[in-house]
Amino acid sequence: MNKSPLALAITCALALAPSAMIQAAETQASEGFLEGSSLKILNRNFYFNRDYRNGEARVLPNGERSSYTEAWAHSILANYESGFTQGTVGFGLDVHAGLGIKLDTGDGRYGPGGSVNLMPVDSDGQAEDSYSKVGAAVKARFADTVVKAGDVFPTTPVVHYGDSRLLPQSFKGFTLVNNSVDGLTLQGGRLHAMSQPQESTTRGDFATFYAGQVDSPWVSYFGGDYALNDNIGFSLYSSRLKDAWDQHYAGMSWTYPLSEELSLFGGLNYYNARDEGKQLLGDFNNNIYSGSVGVKYGAHRLALSHQRNNGDDDFDYLRQSDSIFLDNSIQYSDFNSPKERSWMLRYDLDMADFGVPGLSFMARYALGRDADYSNANSVYMRRDDAGNPLTDQKRWERNLEVKYVFLEGSLKDLSVRVRQMNTRATAYESDLDEVRVIVEYPLQVL
């Protein structure tokens, strides 16, 4: 990490580019800025409720106290991506615009902390009626390398935008992707701001899930994914949240077909995170891993995974992002507390084999134990009512999901998904019941 990850990305990309430059230039000659354009519109309807079963009482905007939160909202997201101008170096433009609209929150059922910020909250603690966000990025393509600058959506295990609320999270900065080598994708970037899903601004401060806001000026990353063949792949990535952490990731996935109907599969994920620079999140050196193995037979898929955090602090990542590629990081819980060990069993069923294409089911149950904050630093420390570090903490979570996607007709590609969650824990986490209903209708305009 003595050199910027982005500098390494550019060096690698430029080293790989000349061999493919002539072929890429010939390909670009048949494409243009308008000819390669696409415009997609996504309608997303989102219902979200959460019940704090252990009786946690929140003071709501109307002065009442409640342990129940609920919100129903709709969003419209338009994404325009241009092609590239002709020539050895092509230029283009990506633009996105989103609108979130409150449909119902009910008096006294929404407020600070309610529904995990499905809608922004005003100064009176009430959900806003609507909010919007607009962003754009200019881009350039040279051979097999694409560079974007502006509002970007990175997709790596160390920095990955989140898309589990009304509108997607975004980052401001620049990214680089190179595909010069068959089967290898290199990615790098340097980002100086982030936008949370419920924010209109695209210049928000960095924040993490477990430590909150971090006064860091930038985050950078570099790494790659390599598919050795159709059955095995590897990933290596590194990132730096300036003055907070260095994170390194290694992962692999594999499948082993035994017959046309039967196959085995599995994977490994490993993170190491260390404090960096000014140690804004304290002194820490964490490593956490997960491994899974499973079997797929026809429409059925069954997997068992194990995960363990060997560090003394929570394994943290950027807030509301998907930057955690661990098997047991699921709907609510990440099972990433210090010294925590967890197991999860997951079952998936594709109903296409039973004459109902587009319909699928998922069920999973995860159990974690031995979480211990005895040696946590001051940022991640959790204590009991007597002021002692929490030890021997336990939790479990159960997720159920049913999803249906229309595969033909006037509603083609419309999806309806219902997700239900229950989790119970000792003193360090909440007891929750949760239901989400998500309807998405994507439209390809161009």
Query: What tens digit of pLDDT does each residue of 343-396 get?
Result: 999 999 999 999 999 999 999 999 999 999 999 999 999 999 999 999 999 999
Q: Tell whether the torsion through CA atoms of 327, 333, 334 and 338 is positive or negative.
A: negative
Q: What local confidence, expressed as pLDDT, does residue 321 receive?
A: 95
**Count of other CB atoms within 10 angstroms of residue 114:** 26
Percent of the chain having pLDDT more than 90? 81
Average pLDDT value over all residues in the chain: 90
pTM recorded for the entire structure? 0.91
Phi-psi region of 373 (alpha: psi -120 to 50; beta: other; left: phi over 0): alpha
Nearest to 1 by CA among 369, 273, 269, 402: 273
Predicted pLDDT at 53: 77
pLDDT averages per 10-residue partition of the chain, 446 residues: 48 47 47 93 94 65 69 96 95 98 78 65 83 97 96 98 95 98 97 94 94 96 97 98 98 98 98 97 97 98 98 96 97 97 98 97 98 97 95 98 96 97 93 95 95
Tokens of 173: 């900065």
On whether the CB atoms of residues 381 and 388 are closer than 8 A, the answer is no
Superfamily of domain 5-444: Porin (2.40.160.10)
Q: CA-based angle 22:27:33, to the nearest 5?
A: 125
Pairwise CA distance, residues 446 & 233, whole Å: 33
Angstrom distance (rounded) from CA 135 to CA 96: 5
Place of tokens 């792949």: 233
Q: How far apart are CA 99 and CA 269, in angstroms?
A: 36
pLDDT in tens, 256-268: 999 999 999 999 9
CA dist list (Å): 289 to 261, 270, 419:
30, 4, 26
Cα separation, 13 vs 145, in Å, equals 7
What is the predicted pLDDT for the residue at 112?
A: 53
pLDDT at res. 55: 56
CA of 15: how far to CAs of 10, 57, 144, 176, 221, in Å? 8, 58, 11, 14, 19
